[in-house]
A = this chain, B = another copy of it.
Amino acid sequence: MSNFQGLLREIGSLSGDLYHKDFLLTWEKSVDELRKIVAVADALQWLRRGNISTRCFESGLAVSIFRDQSTRTRFSFFSAANLLGLGVQDLDEGRSQIAHGETVRETANMIAFFTEFIGIRDDIFLGAGHTYMQQVAAAVEEGFKAGVLEQRPYLVNLQSDVDHPTQSMADLMQLKNHFGGLDQLRGKKIAMTWAYSPSYGKPLSVPQGVIGLMTRFGMDVVLAHPEGYQLIPDVVAKAGVSAKENGGSFKVVSSMDEAFAGADVVYPKSWAPYHVMEKRTELLRSNDTPGLKELEKACLAKNAEFKGWECTESKMKLTRKGKALYMHCLPADISGVSCAAGEVAASVFERYRIPTYIQAGFKPYIIAAVMLAARFDDPVKLLRALKRRAVPRA
């Protein structure tokens, strides 16, 4: 962790404007803005470790809407809100009840009278999650401007069909700490690769988030997957553009070995193909249960052709000096532990188990930093005041 004064100087030196903005996709933010979030997260960690309270709300709500299961993100969101002094209330709506356009508009306002942030996970339906977040944002924007809401609640994407920015930003902090600074990422090779799993239908947002974000920091990003396991084309295209603009590289390969070769970082993780997720979305929408079963069966059979896409010890040997950093958003499918055969060999995972836990541990700080930067015009001033106030946290 960096020196506190240095962090304040860094935050102050960065341009960009996070104030009064939603946080939906990392590629909507400038590199400076992303750096600023990381630095604020670091500063919050510095204060908390020094037992200095970072409470900056005496009252106010953070509302979470989970349209898919969650444990770690749920706790991260709660922890982040609590760190700043906010109460958390979960909106536990049936999916259908808030699916309708009119209702989204109304519900968004009804839960937001005293709400500072709305965190949403909606990653099941391709083409739906990000759109839903935009609708909620538009609704509270309208409500705030019309005097319905006392404040504009800012949206925090807790995983959509497109991006999982609080995850990828936590991943970025892990890389920063591992390599000793964001500037050290330039030229480092990261292999974001598909891996075999005995389940299907895992969201695309993690690999999309990783290629979308790491290409912004000059890394050599290699995306690897078997034929037919494409991500959303637009997102992949954007990663290519980002790499060019930021002095890194991006390529897509169809071999795990090729991706691992000389890699400084590997991120082997299963996902469902883009076109399968589209089909699945259609079937889910039409409640076609037999169709869904058939799709699952076909997909699992297809997956089974690629059991070799496992992060084994021998694959790890291909990486830079055999010592690449292994990353995972958790939970991983660990061969012989959580399943017969999965994404990663037990011995590899065990060696990197604690680092993956540490990686996950950045998420509450990232979410708190996103909140703080969206809500306070001058984070430097606020952080300095918190340090000077020096109220013990415990």
Residue contact A58 to B55, C-beta cutoff 8 Å: yes
Tell me, yes or no, whether A306 is within 8 Å of chain B by CB. no
- Please report A residues at the B interface, Cβ cutoff 8 Å: 48-49, 53-61, 63, 71-72, 74-76, 78-79, 82-85, 87-89, 91, 93, 100, 102-103, 106-107, 109-111, 113-116, 142-143, 146-150, 330-331, 334, 337-338, 354, 357-358, 360-361, 363-364, 375-376, 391-394
Among B61, B147, B361, contact of A78 (Cβ-Cβ < 8 Å)? B61
**Of listed A55, A149, A150, residue having the most chain B CB within 10 A:** A150
A to B CB contacts below 8 Å, 20 in the list:
A57-B394, A60-B82, A72-B110, A72-B111, A75-B110, A78-B87, A79-B113, A83-B114, A87-B87, A102-B337, A103-B331, A106-B330, A109-B357, A110-B360, A113-B361, A116-B394, A146-B357, A146-B358, A147-B358, A148-B361
Interchain CA distance A114-B85 in the complex, whole Å: 13
Check A357/B394 contact, CB under 8 A, given A338-B100, A338-B102. no
**Smallest CB gap from A52: residue in B:** B58
**Smallest CB gap from A145: residue in B:** B354
- Interface of chain A, helix or strand or loop or mixed? mixed
Interchain CA distance A359-B102 in the complex, whole Å: 18
Please give, as numbers and ranges, the residues of chain B lying within 8 Å of A114 by CB-CB distance: 48, 79, 82-83, 364
Q: What's the minimum C-beta distance from A205 to chain B, rounded to whole angstroms?
A: 18
Among B53, B89, B354, B375, contact of A394 (Cβ-Cβ < 8 Å)? B375
Among B58, B113, B330, B358, contact of A391 (Cβ-Cβ < 8 Å)? B58
**Smallest CB gap from A147: residue in B:** B358
